[in-house]
Homo-oligomer: A and B are copies of this chain.
Amino acid sequence: MNEILSPKDFKHKYSVTVRFHEVDMLGVCYNAVYINFFETARLEYIKAAGLMPSRGLFSDGNIFFIVKNEINYRGYAYHDDILDVYSKISYIKNSSFGYDHLIVNQKSGNIIVDGKVVIVHVDSNTRKAKRLSEKFIEKVKAFEPSVKILRE
């Protein structure tokens, strides 16, 4: 059992408001929507870390696919709630790396969900795993000094 992270474990925060169409018939934010929030937050993270190609996502030929999504639901969010989505790259392996996410209700401070996401860097032609560049690692380390480098 992993310990639950808290906002102080993160430096990057992205805030999002729960939209009407993101709420389900039980009146709470639909479970799959948090995957969208994680993803949108990661793209802001990538920009903040200087990793977004200048002409937009994938424009430099580097393609990334999600290998694993894991979400734990610890509370409910409602329409119009403002959520703080915390993200960090926690480790980097040869061709893959992992994110930790935490979503907190901005007003109450209650944890709504947390999650772990694994991303793989793939060759744009073969769509097979491709080793991450040293430049990528350096940029992540500069932005997120606590990242663990697990390279072989």
Residues in A lying within 8 Å of B, measured CB to CB: 19-21, 23-28, 30-33, 35-36, 39-40, 43, 56-58, 63, 65-73, 76, 78-80, 127
Complexed CA–CA distance, A16 and B105 (Å) = 20
| A68 and B71 contact, Cβ closer than 8 Å, known pairs A20-B40, A24-B20, A39-B20 | yes
Number of copies: 4
Nearest opposing residue in chain B for A124, CB measure: B26
Complexed CA–CA distance, A25 and B35 (Å) = 16
In contact, B21 and A32 (Cβ under 8 angstroms): yes
- Residues in B with CB closer than 8 Å to A26 are 58, 63, 65
Q: Within the complex, what minimum Cβ distance (angstroms) separates A102 from chain B?
A: 15
